[in-house]
């Protein structure tokens, strides 16, 4: 009988998304065990010698279930490349490009993907006045899960962010796009589906993403055919332009009050999309007939080194 493939599942990390990553990783460990792998959980801390020790004996594959800085920006990918360990999701360059939102927008726009306008500016400049005409959004340049997002509405006359916020010295300001929240998972060379996300109150915040009952997911989204096709095409084009591999997820806003596709914008690409019980990628895969263990197995079997 062939020996079972050993998979180390990296989870946790030290970003603001640590708890989400732990939930994702634990779900993946269970799914991989169900699929017949020898899956081992590794809680990653900011301690390289400890990580190297945890990776002994060397696994056959690393399943990267980390989220946010340190796990999604090319850092952990560089360590795995040095160790010559195949890993899931995107490589160093694609991870770094996608994680830095202003750079990702430049790359995607050059590939013909419609992205919202905006500007990057030092955090301190927000005290001098509005960087854009309200309403607009201010967000960190390299965080996920809606962490650090601030809305600025007409009539607001205060700096939208406290000077001591913990997400770096730069911010990204973008016009607020009213309308509907859409997302598309890409798995290899195909876009799976379009999901519409309807928060039950407010916007699709960190709490709405990871608290059961805070948002409804409609898959497939009830959209005009042209909008559905544009979302699928743009998600795949962005995945390819950034050099992503494995699974990614593209997030959109569609202002359905504007004609045709004028109000459709791709906001960002996530190279390490959530794999929690409430996550969108497993939901879209299930819609396409791919259960969670099969999805995780596909990611393991398509893992690679990129350097």
Domain ranges of the chain: 6-89+296-301, 119-175
Secondary structure tally for the chain: helices H, strands E: 9, 12
- Residue numbers annotated as active site: 17, 145, 210, 249, 251, 268, 270, 274
pLDDT digits (tens, 9 = 90+) for 73-120: 999 999 999 999 999 999 999 999 999 999 999 999 999 999 999 999
What's the order of all strands across the beta sheet hosting 215-218?
215-218, 190-199, 180-187, 247-254, 264-270
Query: Do the beta carbons of residue 209 and residue 283 sit within 8 Å?
Result: no
| 235-246 average pLDDT score | 98
Q: Which helix (H) or strand (E) holds 25?
A: helix 18-34
Rounded Cα distance, 48 and 58, in Å: 15
How far apart are the C-alpha atoms of 23 and 31, rounded to whole Å? 12
pLDDT at 146 exceeding the cut of 60: yes
Q: Would you identify the CATH topology of the domain 6-89+296-301?
A: Rossmann fold (3.40.50)
For residues 165 and 225, the model is more confident at 225
What band does 247 get if pLDDT is binned at 50, 70 and 90?
very high
């Amino acid at each position: 009988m062939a020996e079972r493939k050993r998979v180390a599942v990296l989870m946790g990390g030290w970003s603001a998304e640590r708890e989400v990553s732990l939930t994702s990783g634990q779900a993946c460990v269970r799914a991989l065990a169900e699929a017949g792998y020898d899956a081992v959980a590794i809680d990653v801390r900011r301690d390289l010698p400890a990580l190297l020790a945890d990776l002994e004996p060397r696994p056959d594959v690393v399943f990267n279930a980390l989220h946010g800085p340190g796990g999604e920006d090319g850092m952990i990918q560089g360590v795995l490349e040095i160790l010559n360990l195949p890993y899931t999701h995107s490589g160093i360059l694609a991870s770094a490009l996608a994680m830095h939102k202003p750079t990702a927008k430049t790359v995607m726009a050059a590939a013909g993907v419609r992205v919202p306008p905006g500007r990057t500016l030092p955090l301190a400049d927000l005290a001098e006045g509005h960087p854009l005409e309200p309403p607009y959004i201010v967000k960190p340049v390299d965080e996920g899960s809606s962490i650090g997002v601030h809305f600025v509405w007409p009539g607001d006359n205060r700096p939208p962010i406290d000077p001591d916020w913990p997400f770096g010295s730069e911010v990204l300001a973008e016009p607020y796009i009213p309308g509907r929240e859409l997302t598309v998972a890409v798995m290899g060379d195909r876009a799976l589906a379009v999901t519409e996300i309807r928060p039950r109150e407010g916007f699709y915040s960190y709490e709405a993403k990871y608290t059961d009952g805070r948002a409804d997911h409609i898959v497939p989204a009830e959209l005009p055919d042209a909008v559905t096709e544009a979302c699928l095409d743009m998600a795949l084009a962005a995945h390819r332009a950034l050099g992503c591999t494995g699974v990614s997820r593209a997030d959109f806003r569609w202002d359905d009050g504007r004609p045709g596709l004028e109000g459709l914008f791709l906001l960002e690409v996530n190279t390490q999309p959530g794999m929690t019980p409430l996550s969108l990628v497993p939901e879209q895969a299930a819609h396409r007939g791919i259960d969670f263990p099969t999805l995780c197995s596909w990611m393991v079997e398509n893992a690679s080194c990129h350097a």
